[in-house]
Every structure is written in structure tokens, then in C-alpha cells.
């Protein structure tokens, strides 16, 4: 398994955000993580990516236990994520934004950067070329020299994904990537995720757009109040009475299928 979450509990004082959550993510799959607001989805992403340390339980990425690693260490192993709120550098160009993501893969030291050695210059050139290539994945390469603040919201979200890809991840955690997008932007996002999946990326997706999840994911994990209440294929989740009651609501099967 690429990612294994083993009985993870996360507590803040007397509040339990996650309780004994366990599941596995297979390599080169698209997995959905769904549930109502407050279910613990983003808290789980924060544990996996190293922002939070679980109170108990563990997270394994391949052969590595990453539960107590720092965020940058986990990122270097191949775990990248986006956040609910777009996090771009508004006064930098698009290519500069993506190049910041490439820094985690850089090999030049501080001295080389200060002295602008040939090694550092070559590394920067390669980072720029790779960043432009990644911008082409999200159809933003023609805007590479524009400032990020001048992009519409949907394109800022795409830029966020390109920057995450710049770290050369094996697994990509997308936290509500469709939030705030219009219909056309959602269709573009769906096409992008499908393209990334065909390229071999493993993707875990938090999303409130149930139809988007059902269309994209081969496996779905459902949380409610910090507990895992179900997991399975989209077809199994659509028919699960606990999911319908907790998340989809009355008529949930029809809404999830449409």
C-alpha cells in the first residue's frame, strides 16, 4: 500500500477531532474523502502531511512511518497537498510561484545561491523549465509571466495544484479543489485530475461535490464526527444507509447518482 492510516486519533484538549480512523490508499488510484462539515477530513490531511501529530495511531507512507516527521520531511518523501483556501504568492509571477515548489527538490546550498555559481544557475534554469511544463498541465503556461493576483479564482486554484506538483509528489492530497468554482471550471478540474491519474499520480480528494467524487474516484472513505463510518466503491457508498443519513440526506442515493 502507498499510504496506510492505522487507528489514528487526534485530540485537542477535550475535543476529539479523529477517533481510531483506519484505511489504506493503493498506488495510482483516486480516492475520495467525504463527510459533512466538521467530520475531520482536513484534520486527517493535516496529520498525513505533518501539520498535526496524532495523539495515537500511526501513518505509513510506503515503508516509512511518517506520523512524527516534520512537514518538509514528509514532502521530500513524496507527499504534497493543497489547502481549502488558495495559497498563492499574489505579487509573484505564475512561473515564480511554481518555482517555489521546486525549491524542496533543489540541491544547491546557501553559499551556492549567494555566489550564483554555475551549479545554482543550472538548477534554476531547470526549475524554470519544469515549472513552465507544469503550468502547461493546467493550461496556464501562456500566462507564466503574469502576476498571480491577476488570475481569476479558478485559475489560482489550478496554479496551486501546479505548485504542489512541482515537489514531484507520489501522492497528491487535494483539499476541496472545486470550492468556489463555476461549472466550466469544475469540468476543467475534473479533466485535470483524470489526466494526472493517467500520468500515474496517486490522488486523495476531499470534496463536497458528491457527483465529482463519484465520477472521479474508484474508492471512497466517509467520515462523520471524526469516525470512519464507511468505505468502498462509489456504488457501495451510494447505497450505504449510514452515508445517506449522515451526509447525503433524504434522497441521497438519487442526488449522488445525478
Please report the pLDDT score of residue 105 as a whole number.
Answer: 59
Q: Which residues contact 4 (CB under 8 A, 6 or more apart)?
A: 24, 25, 59, 60
pLDDT of residue 121: 81
CB 167 within 8 A of CB 105: yes
pLDDT tens-place string over residues 197-221: 999 999 999 999 989 999 999 999 9
User: What domains are there in the chain, each with its CATH number?
Assistant: 3-87+168-257 (3.40.50.300), 89-150 (no CATH)
- Point out the least confidently predicted range of 11-20, 101-110, 199-208: 101-110
pLDDT band of residue 122 (cuts 50, 70, 90) is confident
User: What's the predicted TM-score (pTM) here?
Assistant: 0.88
Q: How confident is the model at residue 250 (pLDDT cuts 50, 70, 90)?
A: very low
How far apart CA 40 and CA 37 sit, in angstroms, is 8
pLDDT at 25: 97
Q: What's the pLDDT score for residue 104? A: 64
Write down the residue that cell numbers 518538509 correspond to.
72
- 103: pLDDT confidence band, cut at 50, 70 and 90? confident
Q: What is d(CA 75, CA 169) in angstroms, rounded to the nearest whole number?
A: 8
Mean pLDDT of all residues belonging to the chain? 90
Q: Using alpha carbons only, how large is the chain's radius of gyration in Å? A: 19
Per residue, what are the HEC states of 16-66?
Answer: EEEEEEEEEECCCCEEEEECCCCCCHHHHHHHHHCCCCCCEEEEEECCEEC
Closest CA to 214 of 12, 44, 30: 30
Measured in degrees and rounded to the nearest 5, phi and psi for residue 192 equal -65, -45
pLDDT band, residue 257 (cuts 50/70/90): very low
Amino acid at each position: 500500500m502507498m499510504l496506510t492510516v492505522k487507528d489514528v486519533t487526534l485530540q485537542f484538549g477535550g475535543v476529539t477531532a479523529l477517533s481510531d480512523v483506519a484505511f489504506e490508499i493503493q498506488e495510482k488510484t483516486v480516492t475520495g474523502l467525504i463527510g459533512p462539515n466538521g467530520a475531520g477530513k482536513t484534520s486527517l490531511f493535516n496529520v498525513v502531511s505533518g501539520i498535526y501529530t496524532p495523539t495515537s495511531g500511526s501513518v505509513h507512507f510506503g515503508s516509512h512511518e511518517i506520523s512524527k516527521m516534520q512537514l518538509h520531511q514528509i514532502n521530500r518523501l513524496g507527499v504534497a497537498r493543497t489547502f481549502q483556501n488558495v495559497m498563492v504568492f499574489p505579487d509573484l509571477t505564475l512561473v515564480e510561484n511554481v518555482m517555489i515548489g521546486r525549491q524542496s527538490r533543489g540541491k544547491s546550498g546557501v553559499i551556492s545561491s549567494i555566489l550564483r555559481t554555475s551549479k545554482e544557475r543550472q538548477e534554476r534554469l531547470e526549475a524554470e523549465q519544469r515549472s513552465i511544463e507544469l503550468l502547461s498541465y493546467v493550461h496556464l503556461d501562456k500566462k507564466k509571466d503574469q502576476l498571480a493576483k491577476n488570475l481569476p479564482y479558478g485559475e489560482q486554484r489550478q496554479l496551486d495544484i501546479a505548485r504542489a506538483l512541482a515537489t514531484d509528489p507520489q501522492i497528491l492530497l487535494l483539499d476541496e479543489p472545486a470550492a468556489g468554482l463555476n461549472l466550466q471550471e469544475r469540468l476543467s478540474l475534473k479533466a485535470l485530475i483524470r489526466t494526472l491519474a493517467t500520468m500515474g499520480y496517486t490522488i486523495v480528494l476531499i470534496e463536497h461535490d458528491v457527483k465529482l467524487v463519484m465520477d472521479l474516484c474508484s474508492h471512497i472513505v466517509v467520515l462523520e464526527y471524526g469516525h470512519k463510518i464507511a468505505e468502498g466503491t462509489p456504488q457501495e457508498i451510494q447505497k450505504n444507509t449510514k452515508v445517506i443519513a449522515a451526509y447525503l440526506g433524504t434522497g441521497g442515493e438519487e442526488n449522488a447518482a445525478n
